Structure 1
Amino acid sequence: MENYDTLSEAINDLKANGYTYDLNLMAHFVECDSPKVQWHPEDFKINKVFCFEGMSNPGDNSSLYAISSTHG
């Protein structure tokens, strides 16, 4: 598994490796703004998970999921 120092470094590398859409986690699905698409949990597979700890505040922690569609 890759190790990244920053969230932006991870995002840039994933985009360079074919992860093309930025998705947002909603209550019951993930959503893409362009193109406007929603995927429910059964529609995608989590390929990788990256966790980043906040420097000064534990509330600044973030997670990045690299996912792919089960529909190709």
Structure 2
Amino acid sequence: MANYCQLMGRRPGFGNHVSHSQRKTARRWNPNLQQRRYYLPSEGRVVALTLSTKAIKTIDRIGIDAAVSQMRQQGEKI
């Protein structure tokens, strides 16, 4: 699974874990990504998307057709 959201473009964040003694160790914050399948009625097919949980809520709000058109405007291949 690719480590980015296809709708929102969320990628891992990087930084340091800082202990009580102020030692710094490299770490990363991964987005909460989920695999979801949606039926596209306009194309009559099912698409599998890698989405963050925020993107899933956005699709619930605006609809899958609007979300797919937004992804295509961003240059995402579906």
- TM-score (normalizing by structure 2): 0.23
Higher relative contact order (CA 8 A, sep 6+): 2
Which of structures 1 and 2 has the bigger CA Rg? 2
TM-score (norm 1): 0.24
